[in-house]
Structure 1
Amino acid sequence: MSASEFESVEASLSKYISPGDLDEVRRILYGKQTRKLDFPQSATDAAAERGFDLQGCVFEASSEQLRLPRIVRVGLIQNKIVLPTDAPVLDQIAALHKRVGEIVEVAAMCGVNIVCFQEAWTMPFAFCTRERQPWTEFAESAEDGFTTRFCQELAKKYNMVVVSPILERDEIHGGTLWNTAVVVSNSGKVLGKTRKNHIPRVGDFNESTYYMEGNTGHRVFQTQFGKIAVNICYGRHHPLNWFMYSMNGAEIIFNPSATVGELSEPMWPIEARNAAIANHCFTCAINRVGTVSHHEFGHFYGSSYVAAPDGSRSPGLSRIRDGLLIAELDLNLTRQIGDQWNFKMTGRYEMYGEELTKAVQNDFKPNIIKE
């Protein structure tokens, strides 16, 4: 069986492990078991008719005496491109708008408060090719481009925060391209944008020919449903990147990605989950599916999931199918786990800061003791 035919780890576990052992295997692999989220029949039927995977789970917190539960539902969308890559650019964008709009409608049926799409969701993944045309034509304004306007309509229609990662064209600065996530409030207003901090340079895999390292730092967005941040794709490999979003107050960190099996799949189940544990927050890892045919890049393996600060995580979506994963989170869990493990209280940040300041100097000498 090829990588592009293998449905998911979860499906294989369920198929080949006895029910008696399966709960224990899941406990070891995924931590405390999450409760399955029930959906309206209309949503289940719509997902089946529209041909995408619909899954849901609940992350619970302990009841408290002084705080009510802080419940929020997040939706993660993974999808293939819709039209061939040689179709007109505007047709490709419109087809993806239609497809994702269909999935967002189901998310609304299920009470989702915040939805996040995959990295550069309005286009084929093209950032490691030598040619720039027509791929740069997919770039658009983060403030008033047609995709942002589309997301504003979704946000207002469904009372939903929309996180929309796009290829941004910054006309103010000479048409510079950025890998950007636009955050649209549930009011329909653009709350702001954040740019990809880390650009991969792995052999021939080099996205720096397309866009710049981000210059927005580690922005956190205060929404009606909680404080969120967006750690775009390659930033998940950098623990300090997650850490700084958390230090700025993020309760939920989304990680919209576009990554293929041979490059990163063994890391995928680990990094976002570890970040949730280390930073006392929820993390949402989103990856596209399918194969982009304009170059031999490999299979995008989906497997989107949500991880919690207590080390538990949801099952992943399919490796091969479009999907919507909905997670109901009690944000009280972030402080509860922080109080239990005290990673931030015990972090020696002043020591790290002092030593990092020295480490970036040209005359730095490693602190090595020799005989």
Structure 2
Amino acid sequence: MQLVALQINAQADWLSNRAQIASLLQRLPVERPCLVLLPENFACMGAPQDYQQLAEPVGSGPVQRQLSEWAKEFGLWLVAGSLPTLIPQQNRVHTTSLVFNPQGELTGFYHKLHLFDVDVDDARGRYRESDSFVAGHDSCVVASPFGGLGLSICYDVRFPELYRLLRQRGADVLLVPAAFTKVTGQAHWLPLLQARAIENQCYVVAANQCGSHGGNRETRGHSVIIDPWGEVLAQQGSQPGLIVATLDPQKTEQIRKSMPVQLHARLTPAWRE
């Protein structure tokens, strides 16, 4: 079972981003089943009005049709890192991760819970994701041949209580599509991802954006796949590309059996639905 993270340099234009993704999909391993994770904002890295113009209802729209077609064409489990999705009866949007099976069916979705409203010591300086998006309200685990897929997006990775809940709900693979900045990524990206893998005894697949984008925004890259022991199985550098690792369910089972941290946990998560 193959785990794949795609790393791209997305801009505000969906058509150019689509071409980047299509090119990388041609380089996938031949083995199936195969799970492919796209980064956060794979369709658009732009200004608030760009997200509003691109936004689609969950389950329909040209971007989601393309995702479905890719899943069918390549026989993939395709996890679309995040896409602006319309909130019914409102002129506002969520940022949403969507899971497509090899038949091209949408099998689950997750609206990002934690919005990146922070100040960073970089050229942009101020990030206010809530200017573009509305936070979600629930977690999501999707059943798959790889085990339970625990969905999250970028800034979520700083909130371990979410991942503990995903593990309790049956997650075996934690997915972290991201647009982590260069500054915060250099300091915290890998340690946070390894911690989420180790403490929850799950594989972690993290697909990040890379390079320069509009609005003085620069992302770190270094997409990574980590096993339940915290070992880095594959890592990309700072350029677009893809990484591949093999999922071993027996390794997950052995680690959880020999060190049953979930059974030993005595404090309930602070996070509540």
TM-score normalised by structure 2 residue count:
0.90
SS of alignment partner, residue 74 of structure 1: strand
Q: Which residue of 2 aligns with 1:327?
A: 245
Matched-pair contact (CA < 8 Å) for 1:142–1:168? no
Q: Which residue of 2 aligns with 1:295?
A: 215
Deviation, 1:222, is 0.7
Q: Which residue of 2 aligns with 1:340?
A: 258
Q: Which runs of 5+ in 2 are unaligned?
A: 120-125
- Rounded to whole Å, the distance in 1 between the matches of 2:19 and 2:64 is 14
- Rounded to whole Å, the distance in 2 between the matches of 1:195 and 1:171 is 11
Q: Which residue of 2 aligns with 1:94?
A: 15
Matched-pair contact (CA < 8 Å) for 2:114–2:155? yes
- 2:94 is the counterpart of 1:175: no
SS of alignment partner, residue 253 of structure 1: strand
- Rounded to whole Å, the distance in 2 between the matches of 1:224 and 1:110 is 14
Question: Closer, same or farther in 2 for the Cα pair 1:252/1:125, shift >3 Å?
Answer: farther
Question: Closer, same or farther in 2 for the Cα pair 1:171/1:280, shift >3 Å?
Answer: closer
Matched-pair contact (CA < 8 Å) for 1:166–1:181? yes
Counterpart among 174, 179, 192 of residue 258 in structure 1: 179
Matched-pair contact (CA < 8 Å) for 1:74–1:327? yes
Question: Closer, same or farther in 2 for the Cα pair 1:248/1:147, shift >3 Å?
Answer: same
Deviation, 1:111, is 4.5
Name the structure where strand makes up a greater proportion of residues.
2
Counterpart among 137, 160, 183 of residue 239 in structure 1: 160
Q: Which residue of 2 aligns with 1:229?
A: 150
TM-score normalised by structure 1 residue count:
0.68
Q: Which residue of 2 aligns with 1:123?
A: 44
SS of alignment partner, residue 262 of structure 2: helix
Q: How many residues align?
A: 266
Q: Which residue of 2 aligns with 1:310?
A: 229
Deviation, 1:307, is 1.0
Counterpart among 42, 49, 52 of residue 136 in structure 1: 52
Deviation, 1:125, is 4.3
Q: Deviations over 1:279-315 (max 9, x none)?
A: 01101121111101x3122x31210111111121124
- Rounded to whole Å, the distance in 2 between the matches of 1:347 and 1:187 is 39
- Rounded to whole Å, the distance in 1 between the matches of 2:155 and 2:226 is 18
Q: Deviations over 1:58-113 (max 9, x none)?
A: xxxxxxxxxxxxxx21110001136xx5xxxxxx2122222201211221545561
Name the structure where helix makes up a greater proportion of residues.
1
- 2:195 is the counterpart of 1:274: yes
Matched-pair contact (CA < 8 Å) for 2:222–2:236? yes
- 2:77 is the counterpart of 1:161: yes
SS of alignment partner, residue 106 of structure 1: coil
Q: Which residue of 2 aligns with 1:202?
A: 118
- Rounded to whole Å, the distance in 2 between the matches of 1:287 and 1:247 is 26
Question: Closer, same or farther in 2 for the Cα pair 1:309/1:134, shift >3 Å?
Answer: closer
Across the aligned residues of Structure 1 and Structure 2, the Cα RMSD in angstroms comes to 2.0
Counterpart among 190, 213, 223 of residue 135 in structure 2: 213
Identity of aligned residues (%): 21
Query: 1:77 is matched by which residue type in structure 2?
Result: L
Q: Deviations over 1:305-355 (max 9, x none)?
A: 111111211242011x11100111112222211111121111003xx36xx
Question: Closer, same or farther in 2 for the Cα pair 1:205/1:310, shift >3 Å?
Answer: same
Q: Which residue of 1 aligns with 2:123?
A: none
- Rounded to whole Å, the distance in 2 between the matches of 1:186 and 1:159 is 5
- Rounded to whole Å, the distance in 2 between the matches of 1:120 and 1:160 is 20
- Rounded to whole Å, the distance in 2 between the matches of 1:254 and 1:230 is 5
Q: Which residue of 2 aligns with 1:147?
A: 63
Q: Deviations over 1:154-179 (max 9, x none)?
A: 11112111101333332523232001
